[in-house]
Amino acid sequence: MFAVFKRELRAYFSSPIGFVVIGLFLALSGIFFAASNLLGASSEYNGLLSTMAFFFLALVPILTMRLLTEETRQHTDQMLITSPLSVTAIVVGKYLAAVAVYLITLLVTVVFPVMMSFFALLGLAWWKILGGYIGLFLLGASFIAVGLFFSSLTESQIVAAVATYTALLVMWIIDALSSMVPTGWLYGLGFVAVAAAALALLVWLSTRSIPATAATAVLLGAGIAVVAVLNKSLYEGLLAKVMAWFSLLKRYEDFNLGILGLSPLVYYLSFSAAFVFLTVRMIDRKRWM
């Protein structure tokens, strides 16, 4: 895994991608820092961290689009799959390399609050700033996990970048979208049915086994029907609740206020691990195709 990590990290800085991502992020952050904190004479720094999160959302597709698509395009993916390393080690190594580039970028921005500390008469809320940085790092790591997953689905870097940006943008505005969806139990039932069908499709794509897919569909369908008969109120507002659960930004708000809670920390780590696992499954499937 460490060999893959070093290879990918070196690749970022032997091509323009790493410099473009870091340069754009720092340039945009510097402009907003100068405008809001220096020229605006404001000691409130965490608002800039929220803006940085949006900047990185736009840059994640550039950072992750080549991670696995490049291997497929150059037909070196089979070499990786048949290498002594496990698929998990390969995927995790690539993921950690992208996260390392992001971490380096964040560490450079620490110069901003350090500069402010020389001029802030009342000092800075360093604990709050630290919490904001921890949340921003975890949020960015989750973004990268999503980008890594989409890069495993196609051999086109453009398609991977567009799909990643679309998915992240939906996650960014999902709080607003969840307030617009209907809350009736029939809508919740329909959502669960679609999710069950998607899970059955995932079983088919992973195993290519008709019996396993049929058994999954039957069990899920039976469970959905039983719940609908016994307590259909469980489906009321379910779609909005699920959408709210996928909100990455909502959990970042606590960190940005300097509140270091266990729940959002576990959520971000679990979210990233889930998408890394899905990526491993997609790559591992190629072994049997």
**Same-domain status, 93 and 139:** yes
Residue 241 lies in a domain: no
**Same-domain status, 206 and 104:** no
Dist CA 146 CA 150 (whole Å): 6
**Same-domain status, 71 and 84:** yes
**Same-domain status, 225 and 126:** no
**Same-domain status, 140 and 10:** yes
In the chain, the number of structural domains is: 2
Residue 144 lies in a domain: yes
Map 179-231 to HEC letters.
CCCCCCHHHHHHHHHHHHHHHHHHHHHHHCCHHHHHHHHHHHHHHHHHHHHHC
Q: Which domain holds residue 7?
A: 2-180+247-288
DSSP 15: S
Going by pLDDT thresholds of 50, 70 and 90, the confidence category of residue 17 is confident
Q: Which residue has the higher pLDDT, 195 or 276?
A: 276
**Same-domain status, 126 and 253:** yes
**Same-domain status, 201 and 262:** no
Picking from 104-108, 223-227, 282-286, which range would have the lowest pLDDT averaged per residue? 282-286
Residue 219 lies in a domain: yes
Residue 242 lies in a domain: no
**Same-domain status, 132 and 164:** yes
Residue 222 lies in a domain: yes
Predicted local distance difference test score (pLDDT) of residue 275 = 93
**Same-domain status, 53 and 117:** yes
Residue 261 lies in a domain: yes
Residue 211 lies in a domain: yes
* Encoded tokens for 109: 């921005």
Of 268, 53, 65, residue with least CA distance to 150 = 65
Dist CA 251 CA 104 (whole Å): 23
**Same-domain status, 126 and 215:** no
pLDDT tens per residue, range 56-87 = 999 999 999 888 876 665 555 555 556 677 88
**Same-domain status, 68 and 144:** yes
**Same-domain status, 137 and 170:** yes
Predicted local distance difference test score (pLDDT) of residue 105 = 94
Chain-wide mean pLDDT for the chain?
A: 84
Residue 47 lies in a domain: yes
pTM for this entry: 0.84
